[in-house]
Amino acid sequence: MEITREYIFRCFRNELTAHEKAALDAWVGESEANARMYREALTEFEYLLVNGNIDTIRDKAPVRRRHRLRIAARVFSGAAAAAAIFLAAFLTADYRTAKDLSEHLLSTTALPGQITTMTLTDGSRVQLNAGATMHYPPLFKGKERMVQLDGEAFFEVSRDEKKPFIVRTFATDIEVLGTKFNVNADEESGEFSVTLAEGSVRVSSLADPDNAIIMRPDEKVYIIDGKLAVTKTRAKDEIRWRDGIIDIGGLDFAALMDRLEMAFGVDIVIDREPLPELCFTDGRLRVSDGIEYALEVLQKGSDFTWSKDYGSGTIYIH
């Protein structure tokens, strides 16, 4: 039996028998190429549902309206679907071909206090730290796989030597074939770094493409005086945020409060001048301990007091 895009669509419309669904499940598990085809078909199907073009993915047999609604509810229900369809408003043109679909950018933002995990259609896995936003196409077509990032994210890129994976930030392009790395790129603050956990990464400046660095594991690239620089580090220390740990080393008070806002999902108002000084050169906080415990710890190395509006949840620094 040949598995085609249209056949997979029939599964999404609940038109397959139990035996046919079992056979399709077995086929998906046979290879990464099959799994990728299934994911791409799912993304196309979701796109067409969102844009009201369900007729373009029907076979000759009619589909009842209540059937369509049931499928829509199932497709929209899971976390994977939420990661794929969350910004339907960005999709304004009618679907015609896979090329058309690949030219639209979807967007995901990790809410304050949350880490969002998503799997792209090429099998690459991305974890967005709180407040981070990534723009990406529903399907990767052409000679490269490009996404755009503002904030912090950890990438586990599915290897494809014929199609490089590129993370574009406000300052750089980060090009890989298949590897694991962390990116922290905040255009508003100008903060930028890349930490490599496995494999190899090429980082090049957007302002000066000749300014490029090939990274090795346990190296960190950052920007100093407008130029890329590299230093040794321990990758596992740079990605502790994935385990709910906040690194507070090297931050001034305002930057630290911004980080706490994102990590704990709270509003913090600094109601004093001058800003308190921090005596910490290194340190970590655990998100699971809560914002109030975090502030108590910070008070031991800084001269400030705080209060909380329990109606709004806002923290005030005095």
* Residue 73 CA neighbour count, 13 Å, CB half: 6
Pairing of β 180-186 and β 145-156:
antiparallel
CATH number of the structural domain 105-238: 2.60.120.1440
> How far from 317 is each of 123, 181, 189, 299, 303, CA to CA, in Å?
44, 35, 21, 11, 10
Class in CATH terms, 244-317:
alpha beta
Q: Over the stretch 92-107, which tens digit does the pLDDT of each residue have?
A: 333 444 455 556 678 8
Asked which of 205-214, 246-255, 283-292 is least confident by mean pLDDT, the reply is 246-255
pLDDT of residue 12: 76
pLDDT of residue 59: 43
Average the pLDDT over 293-297 and give the result.
92
pLDDT of residue 89: 36
Residue 212 has pLDDT above 90, yes or no: yes
CATH code 2.60.120.1440 region(s) in the chain: 105-238
49 or 112, which is more confident: 112
pLDDT of residue 130: 92
Q: Over the stretch 23-72, which tens digit does the pLDDT of each residue have?
A: 888 888 888 778 877 777 777 676 666 554 444 444 433 333 333 333 33
Instruction: Name which of 228, 190, 192 is nearest 210 in CA terms.
Output: 228
Under a CB-based contact definition with an 8 Å cutoff, are residues 112 and 261 in contact? yes
Quick check: pTM over 0.85?
no
Residue 225 has pLDDT above 60, yes or no: yes
Residue 224: pLDDT band by 50, 70, 90 thresholds? very high
Residue 203, SS3? strand
pLDDT of residue 103: 61
282 or 148, which is more confident: 148
Rounded Cα–Cα distance for residues 84 and 119 (Å): 9
Amino acid at the residue 98: A
CATH code 3.55.50 region(s) in the chain: 244-317
Cα 98 → chain centroid: 23
Residue 245: pLDDT band by 50, 70, 90 thresholds? very high
| Overall size of the chain counted in residues | 318
Alpha helices in 31-146 (DSSP H): 32-50, 65-77, 79-85, 98-103
pLDDT of residue 62: 38
Instruction: Name which of 108, 54, 41, 59 is nearest 79 in CA terms.
Output: 108
pLDDT of residue 11: 81
User: Maximum CA pair distance of the chain?
Assistant: 72
> How far from 199 is each of 31, 60, 117, 179, 181, CA to CA, in Å?
23, 48, 21, 5, 9
Tokens describing residue 63 = 């589909």
- Mean pLDDT rounded to a whole number for the chain: 80
121 or 200, which is more confident: 200
Q: Over the stretch 3-26, which tens digit does the pLDDT of each residue have?
A: 877 788 788 777 788 888 888 888
Residue 139: pLDDT band by 50, 70, 90 thresholds? confident
Residue 28, SS3? helix
305 or 90, which is more confident: 305
Average the pLDDT over 111-137 and give the result.
90
